[in-house]
């Protein structure tokens, strides 16, 4: 991930990862090469079943 600060876009590294398994939620604290700090959160938005179990084609909903 690149730094989100305008005109920076430097490479970043993860300073800290904090998982909250109870909420299916992960926090990450980043710092970029220019010492900007920011955090991201990771959230499960979709669970897809094993593709092998799926039917050949999914019909579009209309
Ligand atoms: Zn930066």
* C-beta of residue 1 within 8 angstroms of C-beta of residue 30: yes
Could you give the CA distance from residue 36 to residue 52 in angstroms, rounded to a whole number?
44
Task: Identify whether 28 is part of a domain.
Answer: yes
Task: Identify whether 22 is part of a domain.
Answer: yes
SS3 state of residue 40: strand
pTM score of the predicted model: 0.66
Question: What spacing in Å lies between the alpha carbon of 39 and ligand 1's midpoint?
Answer: 12
Number of structural domains (the chain) is 1
Task: Identify whether 62 is part of a domain.
Answer: no
Could you give the CA distance from residue 50 to residue 34 in angstroms, rounded to a whole number?
42
Task: Identify whether 19 is part of a domain.
Answer: yes
Using one digit for the tens of pLDDT, what is the confidence trace for 15-58? 999 998 888 889 999 999 999 999 999 988 888 888 776 666 66
Question: What spacing in Å lies between the alpha carbon of 53 and ligand 1's midpoint?
Answer: 44
For residue 27, give its domain range: 1-44
Task: Collect all residues with Cβ–Cβ distance below 8 Å to 33 and sequence separation of at least 6.
Answer: 3, 10, 11, 12
Task: Identify whether 36 is part of a domain.
Answer: yes
Task: Identify whether 56 is part of a domain.
Answer: no
Question: What spacing in Å lies between the alpha carbon of 7 and ligand 1's midpoint?
Answer: 8
Question: What spacing in Å lies between the alpha carbon of 32 and ligand 1's midpoint?
Answer: 5
Question: What spacing in Å lies between the alpha carbon of 4 and ligand 1's midpoint?
Answer: 7
Task: Identify whether 35 is part of a domain.
Answer: yes
């Amino acid at each position: 991930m690149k730094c989100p600060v305008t005109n920076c876009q430097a490479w970043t590294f993860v300073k800290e990862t904090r998982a909250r398994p109870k909420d299916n939620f992960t926090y990450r604290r980043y710092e970029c090469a220019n010492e900007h700090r920011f955090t991201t959160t990771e959230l499960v938005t979709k669970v897809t079943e094993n593709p092998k179990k799926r039917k050949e084609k999914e019909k579009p909903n209309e």
